[in-house]
A and B are shown apart, each in its own frame.
Chain A
């Protein structure tokens, strides 16, 4: 492996390890779309104009 390939492998391995650590106790029901629900579900004070 040359230097750039080593660097890419190291970066990818680092990110994969971080995901593995954080995802260990992720609930089965967690979906990507939960992100939009998290945003839409907590509106701050706002004055509708229409």
Chain B
């Protein structure tokens, strides 16, 4: 399964070279063989997946093809409501989140022919960047056992990297798609705020939450985004803006595009191998005719503070009942982050929302007058050891969480699209990655740059030895 991409498998299924049942069985076999040590899944729906695959196989035999995902096995972060399956949101409670409606993004993928393999492990309540989970097991990095898979969409990234599913959905409130994608060597997109509906998804912070795909290639991300993006009347924040043909736009030229590499903040204190790999990636883009230049960007630290005020206030409101009635069930660092939200004043919360408007407007106007995209690291160091990130007091862990996600959080506050693309390995085999950040609703350009990079390099063709 690590040999296939969504696109190549879908083409092979359409050409009757492999059947939906065979593809599904192969993923189930891998889950059976590998997930006891990776812990990517919370719920595996073997029976449901095989039933769907059989139905899709019968449809193909009858000459009906549902579309670009016909028979392709996918899996979803365990905060997406999928009818018939429990949604724990990484908590101790089997059915923590109950929704009257199916997750819109899942429904769109299902209608395009996807087979649901199950629900993926995640950091408890999506609150943490390391992928540790005391209730469902720490997700192990497929490339380096004992090291974190990143979070909070830890299972999503690990499952795709390990070939347990061809693609996954994750959510991103402060980096939770991009961080695990970087740790596990896969592609992950946080789209523009409002681009993808969050209906049927557990909210953490309604002002900062984004839903997006994790895949092995940028081309697959473009394919999935094209399916899940677009207005949804069940999500009041979803944009009415039309959805481009992202796949068609992938092949456009990149020569002449202006890419800025920030001189300030984003490379400060970065691991040397990570720094070198991201800069080497910009050289690759430069070789394709992209105009790469250093740029100064507004200092994101104020934006990070504002984002923390907003996200902690909203998370405390959303999960107040759990924190007040069953605090002992929560991991100490998760509880510590939630508790802060109870003490933030309404005044500070509202000022933060007003400040966000100004900072977003200023950033978009200033930065994107000079460049079409930014390239920055995603994580300050390759996936750290799980025991190291979990050690010490809750305060120690919370501090570590903030430092590890400091390169992704600003783009949640700004709401602009940001794409993780693998760009190498550390000397001991841990994935390295870059982040391509674009204008609002210009996912097409970030994807085009990422796709051009992957056409020129082979990092994404590597797979972990499992």
Contact = CB atoms under 8 A, between A and B. Distances in A.
Chain A at the B interface: mostly helix, strand, loop or mixed? helix
Given A15-B344, A38-B364, A42-B439, A27 B358 contact: yes
A12 B245 CA distance: 45
Interface residues of A, number: 35
Interface size class of chain B, counting residues whose CB lies under 8 Å from the partner chain:
35 or more
A22 B303 CA distance: 9
Given A43-B241, A48-B242, A38 B351 contact: no
Nearest to B413: A35
A43 B356 contact: no
A20 B180 CA distance: 34
Instruction: Identify the interface centre among B237, B308, B340, B442: most chain A CB within 10 Å of its CB.
Output: B340
Contact of B441 (A9, A33, A44): A44
Given A12-B343, A42-B368, A32 B308 contact: no
Contact of B440 (A11, A23, A30, A38): A38
Instruction: Identify the interface centre among A12, A18, A31, A39: most chain B CB within 10 Å of its CB.
Output: A39
B345 interface: yes
Chain B at the A interface: mostly helix, strand, loop or mixed? helix
A18 to B, nearest CB: 4
B354 interface: yes
A30 B358 contact: yes
A27 B358 CA distance: 9
A38 B360 contact: yes
Interface string B106-129: 000000000000000000000000
10 contacts: A15-B344, A18-B302, A18-B309, A26-B358, A34-B354, A38-B360, A38-B361, A39-B192, A39-B440, A42-B365
